[in-house]
């Protein structure tokens, strides 16, 4: 469903992504784990068609993203690293506005259902976003992604700014989405969170995929193992 094929991105003679190869199957949660500047957001931007591969391909459903950016955007929901929501609008108004840009129309009660799923307090929903905490803004952005009803989710640091309870709720939500057939590519530097939710983890270091970990059937990926690999300086 999602596939990187020898994917390279070079910007100003600097190799940002170095021949990435990975696949995410339908219904799978794949976490690309890496430190600051590893190339995580760049990978997502390439899959969304914001960046063109220098060589190699970013494929969705067997088609190169760059050949059909419009179709890709229709089938995907993207949670950016820092959500750009309007401060002078309420959360609900932001949702309706951004959905309208995508030609999607939802009733207030459908929007409330999405807010319920991300546990955004009812009394906050009609308040200006300028009064929101970081976690509340993140929840609004997640609700917007849910309302896109896309089969593929690209999530950039989805749990950043969320407290541990909200993180658990979010992981539960992502697992439910995958169980219902959604395909999820998330990028993060949170080893614990990735192990908790992902079926597979790819370790990205300086634009290179240096390791991959899979969850044994019915179990989680072992945090200790991934943490050791992540913090190791010189991996062969």
Ligand X SMILES: Nc1ncnc2c1ncn2[C@@H]1O[C@H](COP(=O)(O)OP(=O)(O)OP(=O)(O)O)[C@@H](O)[C@H]1O
- Is residue 57 within the footprint of Mg ion (CB under 5 A)? no
Binding mask 65-84 for ligand X (x = CB under 6 A): ----------------x---
Distant-in-sequence, close-in-space partners of 182: CB < 8 Å, separation ≥ 6: 27, 150, 151, 152, 153
Q: Which is nearer to ligand X, 81 or 208 (CB)?
A: 81
Q: Are 149 and 119 in contact (CB under 8 A)?
A: no
Choosing from 38, 77, 145, 194, the residue that interacts with ligand X (CB under 6 A) is 38
Q: How far is the CB of 44 from Mg ion (least distance, A)?
A: 8
Q: Is residue 160 part of the contact set for Mg ion (CB under 5 A)? A: no
Candidate ranges 9-17, 70-78, 120-128, 140-148; the one touching ligand X (CB under 6 A): 9-17
Q: Which of 148, 155, 152 is nearest to 100 (CA)?
A: 148
Phi, psi of 206 (to 5 degrees): 45, 45
Query: Is residue 205 at the binding interface for ligand X, with CB under 6 A as the rule?
Result: no
Considering only residues 2, 20, 33, 39, which one is a binding residue for ligand X as defined by CB under 6 A? 39
Q: State which of residues 10, 41, 61, 175 lies at the interface with Mg ion (CB under 5 A).
A: 41
> Binder to ligand X among 16, 72, 150, 197 (CB under 6 A)?
16
Name the binder of 189 from ligand X, Mg ion, none, CB < 5-8 A by kind: ligand X
Cβ partners under 8 Å of residue 138, min gap 6: 83, 158, 159, 160, 161, 162
By CB under 6 A, is residue 11 in contact with ligand X? yes
Does residue 40 bind ligand X (CB under 6 A)?
yes
- Residue 30 burial by CB count (10 A; 0-12/13-18/19+): exposed, middle or buried? buried
Does residue 186 belong to the site contacting ligand X (CB under 6 A)? no
Report the residue number, 43 or 90, with the smaller CB distance to Mg ion.
43
Q: Considering only residues 1, 19, 28, 41, which one is a binding residue for ligand X as defined by CB under 6 A? A: 41
Q: Is 77 left (phi over 0), alpha (psi -120 to 50) or beta?
A: beta
The answer to whether 189 contacts ligand X (rule: CB under 6 A) is yes
How many Cβ atoms sit within 10 Å of the Cβ of residue 117? 19
Out of ligand X, Mg ion, none, what residue 128 binds, judged by CB under 5 to 8 A for its kind, is: none
- DSSP letter string over 20-43? EEEEE-TT-EEEEEE-TTSSHHHH
Contact of 157 with 45, CB cutoff 8 Å: no
Residue 11 partner contact from Mg ion, ligand X, none using kind-dependent CB cut-offs of 5 to 8 Å: ligand X
Contact 58, 8 (CB under 8 A): no
Interface contacts to Mg ion, rule CB under 5 A: 40-41, 81
Interface contacts to ligand X, rule CB under 6 A: 11-12, 16, 34, 36-42, 81, 189
């Amino acid at each position: 469903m999602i596939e990187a094929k020898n994917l390279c991105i070079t910007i100003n003679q600097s190799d940002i992504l170095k021949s990435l190869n990975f696949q995410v199957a339908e219904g799978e949660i794949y976490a690309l784990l890496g430190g600051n500047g590893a190339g995580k957001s760049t990978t997502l931007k390439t899959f969304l068609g914001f960046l063109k591969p220098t060589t190699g391909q970013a494929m969705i459903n067997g088609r190169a993203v760059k050949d059909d950016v419009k179709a890709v955007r229709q089938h995907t929901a993207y949670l950016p690293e820092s959500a750009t929501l309007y401060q002078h609008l309420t959360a609900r108004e932001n949702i309706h506005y951004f959905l309208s840009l995508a030609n999607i129309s939802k009733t207030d009660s459908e929007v409330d259902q999405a807010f319920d799923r991300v546990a955004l307090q009812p009394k906050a929903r009609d308040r200006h976003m300028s009064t929101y905490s970081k976690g509340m803004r993140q929840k609004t952005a997640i609700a917007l992604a849910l309302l896109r009803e896309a089969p593929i989710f690209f999530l950039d640091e989805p749990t950043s700014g969320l407290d541990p309870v909200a993180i658990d709720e979010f992981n539960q939500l992502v697992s439910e989405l995958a169980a219902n057939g959604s395909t999820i590519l998330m990028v993060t530097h949170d080893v614990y969170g990735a192990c908790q939710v992902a079926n597979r983890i790819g370790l990205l270091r300086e634009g290179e995929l240096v390791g991959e970990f899979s969850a044994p059937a019915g179990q989680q990926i072992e945090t200790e193992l991934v943490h050791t690999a992540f913090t190791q300086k010189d991996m062969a």
